[in-house]
Amino acid sequence: MDESTGQALTTLPEETFRYLLADKWCETVFELTETHFKWNIQYPILEYPAPSMVSSQFSSGGYCDWTLGLYDQKENFDIYLLLNLQKNCSKIAPAFQVLTAIVNKKGDLLSTKTVIIERSKVGSGGRYYVCRFSKEELRKSKFYEKEVNWAIYCTVKIWTKNENKSGPSSSKIASDVFHSELVSTQLEELFRNKTLSDVNLNVGGRIFHAHKIILAARSKVFAAMFNHETAEKLSNQVDIQEVDPDLFQEVLLYIYSGRMSSATMDKKAVGVLAVADNYFLDELKAECETHLTKRMTADNCVELLALADQPHPAAHLKKYAVDFLRRSPALVKATDGWEKAKQEKLWFCELIEILCA
């Protein structure tokens, strides 16, 4: 409390000041390269002893070449990668990820394995075993069929260092960051304290006190509502239905402060995207798309593809989901989300079935 004014002082975390007062900075930039490879084997490998075999070579971003190999070990299959590094391999990070899966001719997923490879531990000749599949485990799979051909999927993720950026910090930049952080903190405090609020938002029976000028400045929907003689403007009350109050509170905090916590994004990004689209909060919508894109997996790909299509069009998210599905159809088709999408007869299911036949 400021004893001279009787007002509460706004404070920032200590680590914020450490960042603002830094006189030098450095940024190390890495790029992720994903290589997706499918190896069809025209031989019933579970029914008869299989000869040792290798695939053709495939490349990861021009930094290294790979060959996929299979050994029949009577009760198991051993799958390995044979690594051939290029001259510029010094840019590759010390570890990279390899996902391996076996599917049948229909694209049904039988088993998957994921490993992290440390480059320093790769054996002589660049060979590294990435997984072992039990023949008995595969035979017990609900997708198992006799006398069929198989395919091995392999996804390799490598991180490469692009550059280091560094330099002296600008006092003006530090000042601008400090000012922006201070304004965001003060506006968030204004929302929480309800000081001078002039409109009530009734969200599913829960009342939020807000400020018309801030809502109108951030959202075209609220701007149209409060710049005309609408019922909401005259009554100073806005009724909002079919939105979870806790979720809407997080969106309101973003409207005031421009910040959305990572925990909220991890748990509620789908819901936040819908609200952001309804109220023309373009920056928040873009943040949600980026967040969901980075966390896309086979398990949530179908859900995100359906979300991006309608009623909240998200072009970037839709494109990435389509690309993910096109690269890894077998992994996606083995999920509960795919079965649900087929039951609901979503538009893309029949198309994918045709492409994967």
pLDDT at 236: 94
pLDDT at 144: 73
What residues pair up with 31 in beta bridges, in sequence order? Answer: 160
Judged on CB neighbours under 10 Å (0-12, 13-18, 19+), 115 is middle
pLDDT at 22: 58
pLDDT at 123: 57
Instruction: Give the global pTM.
Output: 0.50
Question: What type of residue is 36?
Answer: H
Q: Is residue 294 within 8 Å of 257, Cβ to Cβ?
A: no
Q: Classify strands 53-60 and 24-41 as parallel, antiparallel or unpaired.
A: unpaired
**Residue numbers of the chain with a pLDDT score lower than 50:** 1-12, 14-20, 171-174, 178
Q: For the chain, how many residues are written?
A: 357
Q: Is residue 352 within 8 Å of 325, Cβ to Cβ?
A: yes
pLDDT in tens, 62-94: 777 888 888 888 888 888 888 777 666 677 777
pLDDT at 315: 76
61 Ramachandran zone, left/alpha/beta (phi>0; psi -120 to 50): left
For tokens 């400045």, name the residue: 217
Q: Is residue 197 within 8 Å of 214, Cβ to Cβ?
A: no
- The torsion defined by the Cα of 311, 316, 322 and 324, in degrees rounded to 10, comes to -130
CA distance 88 to 221: 52
The count of other CB atoms within 10 Å of the CB of residue 289 is: 21
Q: Which domains are assigned to the chain?
A: 29-164 (2.60.210.10), 186-293 (3.30.710.10), 296-357 (1.25.40)
